[in-house]
Amino acid sequence: MSSLEAQISLYEPEIRAFQPASAADLEQFRIRFLGAKGLLKTISGEMKNVPAEERKDAGQRLNAFKNLIEATFDAFQQQFAAGVAAARPKADISLPGSPIPMGTRHPLRIVESEIISIFENIGFSVATGPEVEDDWHNFTSLNMHEHHPARDMQDTFYVSKDPDWVLRTHTSSVQARIMESQPLPIRVICPGRVYRNETISARAHCFFHQCEGLYIDKNVSFADLKQALYYFVTRMFGADTKVRFRPSYFPFTEPSAEMDISCTVCGGSGCNLCKHTGWVEILGCGMVHPNMLRNFNIDPEVYTGYAFGLGVERITQIKYQVNDLRLYSQNDVRFLKQFQGI
């Protein structure tokens, strides 16, 4: 047997059995048999050693071998090309894209951030405190002793009795914690969630949000309080907004007041929001009670301070005419969507 025939018979079974697992396998095959230094080239080189009388047959044999290699290669190459095409997603890139639904910030968050940024502009920093609070920080230190009637103003959720732990009923508890732990002067706002044992209705909820403000320094007066709140209101509701203060009572402030703003809906002529009075109440405030200062070893002869507490739901209701408190926690997308982009 000639060396040419010997080599062809050696490789033929391998080629017939060839099953590439990947395009890379097929490429290896191509290089090995059809490459510039491949076996087909080497074997063809044997032709010159074939005696002249056998050359015709040998030529045909070599040709058949070459066809076998090329046909094998071509068949698999087509198969891989078709596979790649089939795997490719049949996307029509000229179609409009499917929109990704946009989330929105919750209206209470929108308003809370706005409150924070307004007060930050006049030097307040943000402080937070725990929602589960002890009696001292939620009541006693705020000049509300055990039998103080003012405790009835707020229906409290008790987490435990003796010692008393409560879900804080107001963010004034954070005021107490700040007075206890921070050096003077203090100028903070304390946003957060508060809890009260109320039957849920359009006008009451068992949890809601407040933002407390506290400023303690030498020579802080009621005029400073009015000025800060006036600044807040005109930034929040517009430069034309009017304010008025009504005397009120809170155990932790003396004197105390409630502040109303001119109705932003009817401008004062009378509507449902202002119950036809032209005014809407937005917060409670006052000068920090000397007893409270003493509770935290702050000398009321040297330092004075003001405090205020506003309801975030209330501000949001006025600003966006939300008339039912329950909407804030129902997670109804139709409600939330209306705040998109704000």
Residues within the interface to ligand DAH (CB under 6 A): 170, 172, 212, 250, 253, 284-286, 307-309
Nearer to ligand DAH, 72 or 173 (CB): 173
Nearer to ligand DAH, 50 or 144 (CB): 144
How buried is 21 (Cβ within 10 angstroms: 0-12 exposed, 13-18 middle, 19+ buried)? exposed
**C-alpha dihedral sign at 242, 243, 246, 248:** positive
**Separation of alpha carbons 133 and 89, rounded Å:** 58
Nearer to ligand DAH, 26 or 190 (CB): 190
Nearer to ligand DAH, 59 or 255 (CB): 255
Q: Which residue is nearest to ligand DAH (CB)?
A: 309
**Separation of alpha carbons 4 and 126, rounded Å:** 90
Shortest spacing between CB 319 and ligand DAH, in angstroms = 19
Shortest spacing between CB 92 and ligand DAH, in angstroms = 59
**Separation of alpha carbons 82 and 35, rounded Å:** 24
Helix or strand (DSSP H, E) at 68: helix 55-87
**Separation of alpha carbons 104 and 127, rounded Å:** 25
**Separation of alpha carbons 68 and 40, rounded Å:** 11
Shortest spacing between CB 265 and ligand DAH, in angstroms = 24
Nearest-10 Cα torsion for 317, 323, 329, 330: -150
Shortest spacing between CB 202 and ligand DAH, in angstroms = 19
Nearer to ligand DAH, 156 or 262 (CB): 156
Nearer to ligand DAH, 72 or 253 (CB): 253
Shortest spacing between CB 308 and ligand DAH, in angstroms = 5
Shortest spacing between CB 250 and ligand DAH, in angstroms = 4
Nearer to ligand DAH, 307 or 325 (CB): 307
Please check whether residue 122 is in contact with residue 192, taking contact to mean a CB–CB distance below 8 angstroms. Answer: no
Q: Which residues contact 126 (CB under 8 A, 6 or more apart)?
A: 116, 120, 188, 189, 190, 191
Nearer to ligand DAH, 40 or 150 (CB): 150
Shortest spacing between CB 253 and ligand DAH, in angstroms = 4
Q: Which residues contact 94 (CB under 8 A, 6 or more apart)?
A: none
Nearer to ligand DAH, 172 or 304 (CB): 172
**Separation of alpha carbons 289 and 4, rounded Å:** 112
**Separation of alpha carbons 188 and 178, rounded Å:** 8
Shortest spacing between CB 200 and ligand DAH, in angstroms = 18
Which DSSP category does 21 fall into?
Answer: S
Nearest-10 Cα torsion for 196, 200, 204, 206: 20
Shortest spacing between CB 252 and ligand DAH, in angstroms = 6
**Separation of alpha carbons 152 and 147, rounded Å:** 9
